[in-house]
Amino acid sequence: MAKTRVQFQCNECGATAPKWTGQCPDCQAWNTLMEIIAENGPSHSARFSDHQAMPAEVCTLNVVSSDQNSRVTSGMAELDRTVGGGLVTGSVLLLGGDPGIGKSTLLIQVVESINRDNGVNTLYVSGEESARQIRLRADRLGLSLENIRLLTENNLERILATASRENPGVLIIDSIQTMYTELLQSAPGAVAQVRETAAQLVRFAKQTNTTVILVGHVTKEGTLAGPRVLEHMVDTVLYFEGDDSSRFRVIRAVKNRYGAVNELGVFAMTDKGLREVSNPSAIFLSRHDQQVSGSVVMVTREGTRPLLVEVQALVDASHLSNPRRVSVGLEQNRLAMLLAVLHRHGGIATSNQDVFVNVVGGVKITETAADLAVLMAVVSSLKNRYLSRELVVFGEVGLAGEIRPVQNGPERLQEAAKHGFKQAIIPHANKPRREIKGMEVLAINTLQEALDRVG
């Protein structure tokens, strides 16, 4: 292996320098030099001209074996659903979330379950807690201690040497921001350290066919800390989300090379750790004892799972020159656009009203199927008209006031019927070919048809 040396590269222009300076000598940008590793050896042109590099082997895909049993079940069906059916051997997963959300609790449960149920050797590497602290957590969760193999270490070279000796099937690094390599001089958590340690762990996973799970810190904006290239290097990126006031937690896949993106797994935090929620639609529905205005149930779709959630709206007279538009769980810019469509094509103005929209349960809806439900909830609150508690709504609203279809309409209606809903307002293009037993379906083409239903 060639001897390594440290250089500094500018993030703006790519120029390199032998030592760090506050300003890039080429583009004059400030604080853009980042530590990188450069190998001491012949240049690329010299190696190419001398033909010293050995040619790589090329193969066709028909000779590559396809192992159908290349996944390891984690023991938690919700987590397996999120990653596409289980942990793929040789893959690298990145799990991020707010402090205290339950990342370490989830992973230590996964380690114990995989070792106990599948007999797969696991190794949990902690760079944040001592062995005594982890023992106390495992005792509180009631886990089998002999099934948890633990290493408390920050040095990447020692971790890889131990992993090569132990040969684990699943390796968990908690967390990547606490790891460091001796090849670099910067402190753990620096951009260069995170990038280099992650690259070496990815290389180890692919060479040894080990499943590696990295825990990542998040910034105050909710994004993963460190370089953006970290998310590009791994195979799957999972976000652990939850509300401080709620015991429910949601794992969302934002990148997955082996399954559906935006797949959702729901858990409940208890004194014995995280427990799976097998019917998440039930926890996102309030089921009011009395009818209330401004409440509509919609069917969203997270990955491959249809999910019933309640959309609530509150419209009140504003005393401000610029009325407020507040949305929780929905994109705020889309709310403003929908209110403009409501005024133009529905004849209902909210220019002097404060509008607040909330998705119950802390779920974040990113698809456009919530458009029609949001507008019906707003009109219901504005006119103080009640909507039936047995009604579900979904559909995209276009700028011309048309109701556009959404994906997987029949599956959404089946999910609503399973939970006892008897009425549905949906786009005309999503009208099922066969009647759904016990459900009255109203297929509409325009926003005005939906508003006529509110009255």
- Which of 68-77, 157-166, 388-397, 422-431 has the least mean pLDDT? 68-77
41 and 114: one domain? no
35 and 100: one domain? no
Query: Last residue of some domain: 278, 303, 318?
Result: 278
202 and 336: one domain? no
97 and 129: one domain? yes
The answer to whether residue 56 sits within a structural domain is no
Domain coverage including residue 39: 4-48
The answer to whether residue 60 sits within a structural domain is no
- Which of 54-68, 174-188, 278-292, 326-340 has the least mean pLDDT? 278-292
236 and 90: one domain? yes
227 and 307: one domain? no
Q: Can you spell out the DSSP letters for 378-445?
A: HHHHHHT-B--TTEEE--EEPTTSBEE--TTHHHHHHHHHHTT--EEEEEGGG--SSPPTT-EEEEES
The answer to whether residue 65 sits within a structural domain is no
Residue 166 tokens read as 């132990």
**What pLDDT, on a 0 to 100 scale, did the predictor assign at position 399?**
95
Residue 330 tokens read as 């929905």
**What pLDDT, on a 0 to 100 scale, did the predictor assign at position 47?**
47
**What pLDDT, on a 0 to 100 scale, did the predictor assign at position 52?**
61
**What pLDDT, on a 0 to 100 scale, did the predictor assign at position 290?**
73
Residue 173: name the closest of 143, 153, 192, 148 by CA.
Answer: 153
CATH number at residue 83: 3.40.50.300
Q: What confidence category does residue 23 fall into, taking pLDDT thresholds of 50, 70 and 90?
A: confident
Q: Are strands 273-276 and 264-270 parallel, antiparallel or unpaired?
A: antiparallel
Q: What confidence category does residue 40 fall into, taking pLDDT thresholds of 50, 70 and 90?
A: low
120 and 240: one domain? yes
The answer to whether residue 358 sits within a structural domain is yes
**What pLDDT, on a 0 to 100 scale, did the predictor assign at position 69?**
58
142: pLDDT strictly greater than 80: yes
Convert the pLDDT of each residue in 345-388 to its tens digit.
999 999 999 999 999 877 788 889 999 999 999 999 999 998 88
**What pLDDT, on a 0 to 100 scale, did the predictor assign at position 287?**
62
Asked if the bond preceding 388 is cis, omega within 30° of 0, the reply is: no
The answer to whether residue 55 sits within a structural domain is no
When the pLDDT of each residue in the chain is averaged and rounded to a whole number, the result is 87
Query: Last residue of some domain: 239, 256, 278?
Result: 278
332 and 419: one domain? yes
User: Mean pLDDT throughout 200-224?
Assistant: 91
383 and 405: one domain? yes
Convert the pLDDT of each residue in 383-397 to its tens digit.
999 888 889 999 999
33 and 109: one domain? no
208 and 302: one domain? no
CATH number at residue 434: 3.30.230.10
User: Mean pLDDT throughout 22-37?
Assistant: 82
Cα separation values, 206 from 5, 91, 123, 167, 313, Å: 25, 7, 17, 13, 49
373 and 271: one domain? no
- Whether pTM exceeds 0.85: no
The answer to whether residue 58 sits within a structural domain is no
CA distance 118 to 101: 27
Q: Are 244 and 101 within 8 A, CB to CB? A: no
* Helix 191-208 vs helix 156-166: crossing angle, to nearest 10: 10
Ramachandran assignment for 429, one of left (phi > 0), alpha (psi -120 to 50 degrees), beta (any other): alpha
The answer to whether residue 64 sits within a structural domain is no
Query: Last residue of some domain: 278, 298, 330?
Result: 278
The answer to whether residue 61 sits within a structural domain is no
Q: What confidence category does residue 68 fall into, taking pLDDT thresholds of 50, 70 and 90?
A: low
Q: Are 156 and 181 within 8 A, CB to CB? A: yes
Convert the pLDDT of each residue in 99-118 to its tens digit.
889 999 999 999 999 998 88
Q: How many domains does the chain have?
A: 3
Which residues are bridge partners to 39 per DSSP? Answer: 4
Highest mean pLDDT among 171-180, 291-300, 433-442: 171-180
